[in-house]
Structure 1
Amino acid sequence: NFTALAKDTLLAVPVLIWIALIVAVCFWFLYNKTRHGKYMYAIGGNEAAAEVAGVNVNATKIRIYILASCMFGLAGCLLAAKSGGASVNTAQGYELDAIAACTIGGVSTTGGVGTVPGVLVGVLVFELMKVALQFMNVNSSYTYIVQGLVIIVAVAIDIRKYLAKK
């Protein structure tokens, strides 16, 4: 039953896609329609300014870390269901993929900038690039090099935008 979660479809769309869309809608609502979402953007933009504005920074950070840990757990369960099991090294290197996909999607590494739809577009572009490299039968070592270059370019563009604002 556990691995069927990753194999089943609903209305001809994989259940994993439905779960991703539900999570995306929930996070869009959280970030755009709740006080906690505004506090997260404020802390990401300038922590000291958010504190002066009356945001309880420590409590908000704790809620952010709790929410992140819940999402890490969900992602781990879904990945285990997709791969049929899990080990210590199952998702090794995924943190760089997440950073790259978010940066491609417009999330700033300096904080306070980004949208949920942007992250979804970034994930789609990054995954499409990885799948395209696999279909072109590119050696996996070169795939990692291309991914690294994409990360470097995305972060460099983000830093350039940040410095241009200053």
Structure 2
Amino acid sequence: MDIKAMLKKSGSVIGLVALFVVISCLNSSFIDPSNLKNLLRQVSINALISFGMTFVILTGGIDLSVGSILALSSALMGSFIKGGMDPVFGIVLACLIGAVLGSVNGLVITYGKVAPFIATLATMTIFRGLTLVYTNGNPISNLSDSDAFLEFGQGYVAGLPVPAIMMLIMFFILWFVLHKTPLGRKTYAVGGNEKVSFIAGIKINRIKIFAYTITGFLCGMAGAILTSRLNSAQ
């Protein structure tokens, strides 16, 4: 086995472990189980977004609008729940709103022939502006006392935070899609060489739209977790 190649491939993991060890030595409370659980809860939000971004980057794109998608889907979900919508349905709706917003990015990039950086920079500003106008700059608080809603961001199952469990579930689903399905192989192919992929009969536009849509979906899910955790959309 080529140790140099293995170290290069695992560089980020080694760096994370080294950082974990250093911080643990500097502060022993860092490895306290309650702190680690809290870290898992916090990391789950960024992790979900990064899972989707992985698909986008593999197609050779970038998405700058993920934070704005999270904000807009959270604000809409929060206002609907505040208006009497069932909180569980509100969470599902947040994911669907995120998926729709993500697909808008994909459509602009593929059929509008706009560079991903420019397209998502524009939608980032648009979605953020819509959120500001919709909420009038104020947080939407005290959304629900529903246990099902609050558990989604604050609860535990078998000692693990629910957001961390959702993160792991989505990780394994998307890992399977990326490594074990034709869709995953086509995603790699599009990012590797679009011309060859086109000649091979791959529907490039569909793959790119899927990548941005799944990113939006996961932004909506991350937004729902954050809103549930705070019981507030802001």
Q: Structure 1-normalised TM-score? A: 0.49
Higher helix proportion: 2
TM-score (ref. length: structure 2): 0.35
Larger Rg: 2
